[in-house]
Structure 1
Amino acid sequence: MRKYVGILVVLLLISCNKTEDTLKVIKGNAIGTTFSIRYLGGSSVDFEFKIDSLIKAINKSTSTYIPTSDISKINNGDTTVVVDAYFEEVFAKSEKIYKETNGDFDPTIGVLVNAWGFGPGDKIEDLDSLKIKELLKFVGFEKVALKDQKVIKQYPEIYFDFNAIGKGFLVDVVGRLFEQYNIQNYLVEIGGEIRARGVNEKNSAWRIAIENPNFDGTRSFASTLQLHNESIATSGNYRKYRTAKDGKKYVHTINAKTGFATESNLLSASVISKSDCADVDGYATAFMAMGLEKTQSFLQNHAELKAFLIYVDANGDIKTYASPNLEMKAI
């Protein structure tokens, strides 16, 4: 395959120019990745403390990697858990995207995530089609409901995994924190997922750089785009995969309908929209399962979404596709 240019991880362009508005930067670690936050304003609020508190609250609600979290208790069969507003919103967004994508986005896929060795649960060795068929019985968002702040599952074995929407949701919650304190100009980035509002210190739209997905581990940049009160999220199989004993590669995007962790013809999908980052995070994940043609058809019916896709054509060559409403500039 020849070298190619595309989106896999979205990184920030850091400007050193200063204006009358003070640019403040907060960096740290959260949910197994790094975050970088930039905002303008003279507020004396200790946002670092508040952000840390939000991270802890969301982890307590929706992290499958914390045994005492609400989601872990629910996954382990506790029917008495009263979920909080964070869980309710993630559940509602997941249900909406599940219906819109006809099940290509499905957070009840957790039993398969664990089985393939990508989750906190036990991996199943020698996973075959028969075992997968048995597990698929416990997959399907139509098999769960939320009533009076309690989760109802058709089968106790159903296992929630909100990781495909979780980073984007945390980005949104942090962004809303700034808005509560009347900070109108900010950019929140967590693990490559971004929510931008207002302008940067140059009084222009926040600009981000697009990374080339280099296979040799190096980093280089292809182009840039501006975010006009928009969010962007990227999903890709380029870095997250597991190699079996026979040398076959299994990717981290699992098809909720077949149960197999195999690649579609999409290598990565970046989605931009004025909606919440959690939404574009979910769509990007769904697109990886859909493949190129189905994603293009979906985008035609959802003009509110912009997308940049990297795919493999019938000849095995790497190609890119940008939706007509997406404007990008070469570096």
Structure 2
Amino acid sequence: MKKINSNVYFILVFIFAQLAWMALLGLWIYWYVSNSIIFERVGDQLSPQIKIDGPSIFLFVGGIVLIVAIAFGMSVIFRNLNVQLRLTRLYDNFIANVTHELKSPLASIQLYLETIDSRELSPENKKRFIDYMIKDAERLNNLINSILEISRLEQKKISNEYRVYNSSEVIKSLVEQSAAQFQLPQNSLSIMGDSEAEIVIDKNALKIVLDNLIDNAIKYSPNVLHIGIKLFAERKRFIIEFSDKGIGIDQEQLKKIFKKFYRVYASNIPNVKGTGLGLYWVNEILKSHGGKITCYSEGINKGTTFKIELPIHKHYKKMFTRKLLKLTKKRELIESSESQNE
């Protein structure tokens, strides 16, 4: 027997509620009109000396206002409930994905340890197994750190180290570090363009941005991996265009990819690992830098382009000065608080 989607019940309840308040409104109008007619017909006959007024127009308007207010309140409740249900589903998916991401390296480490404990291995094999365990431990550590960093970012507890850099030089340097970290094949990455514009960034934070984009390009390029990065200045902004030739993203999913816990689904590679936090994290980091990120794709199997925009220092000096002073004071407060807790 096919299970009915929970959204169907939600929609049916919402429709029923709307019909109920419309029926209530109709009954209220009917009651007012019928009573007005009755008062007009029999009022003088019952007491000619006493003037009996029909139902007040203020009573009629007040009743309608009350019914409309109830309807509005119901709509707000249903809308908030719908948002909460969607967040709950996304959160459940996140828990399932994180659990899988945590269990996989743990199971791998356990298997290697049991093998080392139960068998006589040559020094070469033992070292190879230990190297595998170190990589799995690093993977676990990176996952846990990313979750903690996102939590700190949302609570505005991160003390970033902002500095002024030459845009092209710092981006090329960070890209080279990321390429070496992910061990990208030769000729799979190209950087074009140049700019003498200066930008104010936290290098570590921006490396997280590039790491996430490169990681996504690797995951969603099942055939040939090629990443193209273009650097240029445009209208007081420094632009980084990050393109790959992967599976692409359909238009419906493009609207959601920067939401927390959301993961792009691709039927041809359904088992892509991830938590749904990467692009959300990227977006939050860039917003903290006064920048933004947008995504474009012509469709499935046509690649994806991310456009990063960062404000150029000379055009936003006042904004950066205020930001840096505020962050410096905040960093001092955080460090003072941490030292007191110790």
TM-score scaled to structure 2, two decimals?
0.24
Structure with the higher fraction of residues in strand conformation: 1
User: Which has the greater radius of gyration?
Assistant: 2
TM-score scaled to structure 1, two decimals?
0.25
Structure with the higher fraction of residues in helix conformation: 2
User: Higher relative contact order at CA 8 Å, sep ≥6: structure 1 or structure 2?
Assistant: 1
